Amino acid sequence: MGRCDGSGWIEQDDGTAVACECRARRIAQARTRGVRSVLPAKFQGVSLDRPPISDMARDPARKLALGVITGYIDELGKNVAEGRGLWLEGDVGTGKTTLAMLVSKRAIEVGHSVAIYSLPRLLARIRRTYDGATGELSYLQFFERLTSVDLLHLDDLGAEKRSDWVLEQLYAIVDERYATNRSIIVTTNLDETALEEQIGKRTVSRLVEVCEKLPVFGEDHRWAA
């Protein structure tokens, strides 16, 4: 058997080619080119056995949520393959973003393609595609990559200023991932009714279909002594 020449294919003695084990990794990397696929520095060390995650295991208000997250990670491959997502809902400082980052970190570690954005940052990134600056992806290129990654992580859903343009962008992204059976993780400080008011009933309806809703209770631990 031949060796991979870096193309992702291995040429056989009979002239045929078989996929190298690196091919899936290369495809995942290509999908994330031009989208934010790296965990923010604050969350790069997030782990089940380190605070604040380890503290949640001892907190009755958040222990249930942590259990669901752990179960999702345990079957991450199956959940991603079947387009199952998570919707983490709760007050500020309860650990929603940290739990979501734990999932995204694990997905990256095992080779899934992931895009990670806060909603305000994502909308700013979409607006940049209209500038036509050299080296920037076009809107259609960015949209295709954003909707084709294995896992899309949207943080702080509902934090953006409502407008027809915002509603249109969010629905297009969520609906495309819904139609192609691709996973989404969202975090929000708003309950379902308030979120419908902010991002529209159509988008929320899609999220309800593809995401397991997970309330994250507790005090604001950002300000804990």
Of the two residues 130 and 224, the one the predictor is more confident about is 130
**Are residues 210 and 181 part of one domain?**
yes
- Provide the domain count of the chain: 2
159 in Cβ contact with 119 (< 8 Å): yes
Q: Is the pLDDT of residue 23 over 70?
A: no
Three-state SS at 221: helix
Residues 18, 116 within the same domain? no
Distance CA 134, CA 177 (A): 28
131-147 per-position pLDDT tens digit: 766 567 889 999 999 99
Contacts of 190 (CB under 8 A, 6+ apart): 89, 157, 158, 198
Q: How far is it, in rounded angstroms, from Cα 91 to Cα 23?
A: 42
Together in a domain, 20 and 120: no
* Whether residue 64 is found in the same domain as residue 141: yes
Residues 17 and 46 in one domain: no
Same-domain check for residues 213 and 189: yes
What one-character-per-residue DSSP string does 1-44 give? Answer: -----SSSEEE-TTS-EEE-THHHHHHHHHHHTTS--S--GGGT
Q: Are residues 187 and 216 in the same domain?
A: yes
According to DSSP H, which parts of 39-183 are helical? 53-56, 60-74, 76-81, 96-109, 119-128, 139-148, 164-179
Q: What is the CATH number of the domain that holds 123?
A: 3.40.50.300
Verify that 208 and 126 share a domain, yes or no: yes
Mean pLDDT, to the nearest integer, of 157-174? 93
Instruction: Say if residue 99 is in the same domain as residue 2.
Output: no
What pLDDT, on a 0 to 100 scale, did the predictor assign at position 167? 94
Same domain assignment for residues 2 and 48: no
What is the token pair recorded at 183?
A: 């996973």
Structure tokens at 192: 């379902």
List, for residues 30-60, the tens digit of each pLDDT value.
Answer: 555 656 668 888 999 999 999 999 999 899 8
Name the CA radius of gyration of the chain, rounded.
19
Query: Quick one: 16 and 76 in the same domain?
Result: no
Query: Which amino acid is residue 147, in one-letter code?
Result: T
Tell whether 95 and 147 lie within a shared domain. Answer: yes
- How far apart, in Å, do the first and last CA atoms of the chain sit? 61
List the domain range (segments joined by +) for residue 47.
33-223
- The encoded tokens of residue 13 equal 């003695």
| pTM confidence score | 0.82
Q: 97 pLDDT exceeds 60?
A: yes
